[in-house]
Amino acid sequence: MADALKIGIAGLGTVGASLVRILTEKQNLLAVSCGRPIQVVAVSARSRGRDRGVDLSGYEWYDDAVEMAKHADIDAYVELMGGAGDPAYSSVKAALSRGLHVVTANKALLSRNGVELAAIAEEKGVILNFEAAVAGGIPVIKALRESLTGNTVSRVYGIMNGTCNYILTRMEKEELSFETCLKEAQRLGYAEADPTFDIEGNDTAHKLSILTTLAFGTRIAPDDIYLEGITNISLEDIHAAADLGYRIKLLGVAQKTSVGIEQRVHPTMVPQDSVIARVDGVTNAVAIESDILGELLMVGPGAGGDATASAVMGDIADIAKSRPGAQLVPSLGRPAAQLEDYRHGEMQSHEGGYFIRLTVEDRTGVFASIASRMAENAISLESIMQRPKANGDGPGRQTVVLVTHATTEKAVRTAVAAIEKEGYLLGKPQVIRIERPKSV
């Protein structure tokens, strides 16, 4: 059997500790599958004394991950600390520059510095793998980077944040408020103490920026993402969506249009009978639409120590199986120098259906006025209806829900702004975009 692949692991938290345990438990199976053993030789984290439920006594300890990346006697560096800055950035850069293969689960790092790091990996002829960075255990990076080679992708979208999906699912199934479900998610360890990053959509945006690059061959553009979180979603929206045959999900969507590429993260109404609408709880799903294959939908665990470690293990196994001198798959699907400039598709030109919920004064003429403002902006309505009285609806107050046929963001924004000027609105209008899967 060939020499062992020697690895160093920086970060021994949820994912890192799972990885160490699984590599120990599965060492025989991995050696057979990879044709050589995988051997952990060095580890690093912040606090050496912390009990991590795994035996670390046989490994060289480094207090500083960058030192480990620079000096440890390893073939591959595995970064599981997180964060776009240091020590993740400097350690990965140092490892690649030294000619080590790298595996990371760090979407924040790749979203910010992915092109630079991929270019160093190419120059040094080493592998930079990051399957766990998007949708945890779901092998979406490999699918886009390798399996769909030759396909032209038109849209990639998905549920990529388990915390948000858990909250929206519980709100719907148990008729609970957003705040109650968020607290429950924190109690169960699904949400961070500071959940802003998840519920405001930033986490999904990081992942989406990586998928966009793999899907469309463009440079990573994390700052060109339209972002709307789920904090404004109420039970009323969820009920209205259900009555209309939809469910609300936080989707990240990257789509090629005639004007550029739209990258957007926002609450989205998806048809109840679509597969993605039925993805509940912390589960993730990613759909890829392309010309040759059609629609591919992958559903699975998007987080958790073992699920994420499974993806990291697959990346390490790829390195173990690689042959010196063989041509490597470019980290971002094509050589970094051949990535095209990102052409931003403005949100204003987004085309699709819209759900609009308005709380208005209960008087004659309001319905007609709403319909007129829509017509003035060439918005054709699939339905307009008065909702049964909701909790907050007292006398003189009613809720009107509209669903539009395909129109533009600009038209909807203009029509809603005109309605706001009419003086009969009693609350902030709610606008939710509708996304229709191609087939399922």
Ligand X SMILES: NC(=O)c1ccc[n+]([C@@H]2O[C@H](COP(=O)([O-])OP(=O)(O)OC[C@H]3O[C@@H](n4cnc5c(N)ncnc54)[C@H](OP(=O)(O)O)[C@@H]3O)[C@@H](O)[C@H]2O)c1
Total number of residues binding ligand X (CB under 6 A)?
24
Stretch that binds ligand X, among 39-47, 95-103, 242-250, 291-299 (CB under 6 A): 39-47
15 binds ligand X per the rule CB under 6 A: yes
User: CB of residue 199 vs ligand X: minimum separation in angstroms?
Assistant: 16
Written as six digits, the tokens of 324 are: 């010196």
16 binds ligand X per the rule CB under 6 A: yes
14 binds ligand X per the rule CB under 6 A: yes
How do beta strands 128-129 and 101-104 pair? parallel
Between CA 139 and CA 155 the distance in angstroms is 17
188 binds ligand X per the rule CB under 6 A: no
Give the residue, chosen from 114, 136, 139, 222, that forms a contact with ligand X under the rule CB under 6 A: 136
163 binds ligand X per the rule CB under 6 A: no
CB-neighbour burial class of residue 371 (10 A; exposed 0-12, middle 13-18, buried 19+):
middle
CA angle 111, 347, 296 (to 5 degrees): 60
Of 107, 142, 207, 249, which residue is the catalytic one? 207
User: CB of residue 211 vs ligand X: minimum separation in angstroms?
Assistant: 14
Between CA 225 and CA 235 the distance in angstroms is 27
Length of the chain: 440
Give the residue, chosen from 37, 87, 114, 139, that forms a contact with ligand X under the rule CB under 6 A: 87
106 binds ligand X per the rule CB under 6 A: yes
Q: What residues between 53 and 82 interact with ligand X by CB under 6 A?
A: 65, 80-82
Give the residue, chosen from 13, 217, 271, 314, that forms a contact with ligand X under the rule CB under 6 A: 13
Give the residue, chosen from 42, 45, 102, 126, that forms a contact with ligand X under the rule CB under 6 A: 45
332 binds ligand X per the rule CB under 6 A: no
Q: Which is nearer to ligand X, 81 or 400 (CB)?
A: 81
User: CB of residue 107 vs ligand X: minimum separation in angstroms?
Assistant: 6
Q: Which residues are CB-neighbours of 392 under 8 A, at least 6 positions away?
A: 359, 427
Q: What residue is closest to ligand X based on CB?
A: 13
202 binds ligand X per the rule CB under 6 A: no
**Any catalytic annotation for residue 207?**
yes
Q: Which is nearer to ligand X, 151 or 186 (CB)?
A: 186
128 binds ligand X per the rule CB under 6 A: no
Q: Which is nearer to ligand X, 136 or 139 (CB)?
A: 136
Give the residue, chosen from 54, 132, 241, 339, that forms a contact with ligand X under the rule CB under 6 A: 132
Give the residue, chosen from 8, 11, 139, 267, that forms a contact with ligand X under the rule CB under 6 A: 11
Q: Which is nearer to ligand X, 15 or 56 (CB)?
A: 15
User: CB of residue 401 vs ligand X: minimum separation in angstroms?
Assistant: 37
Active site residues: 207
Contact set with ligand X (CB under 6 A): 11-16, 44-47, 50, 65, 80-82, 87, 105-107, 132, 136, 303-304, 308
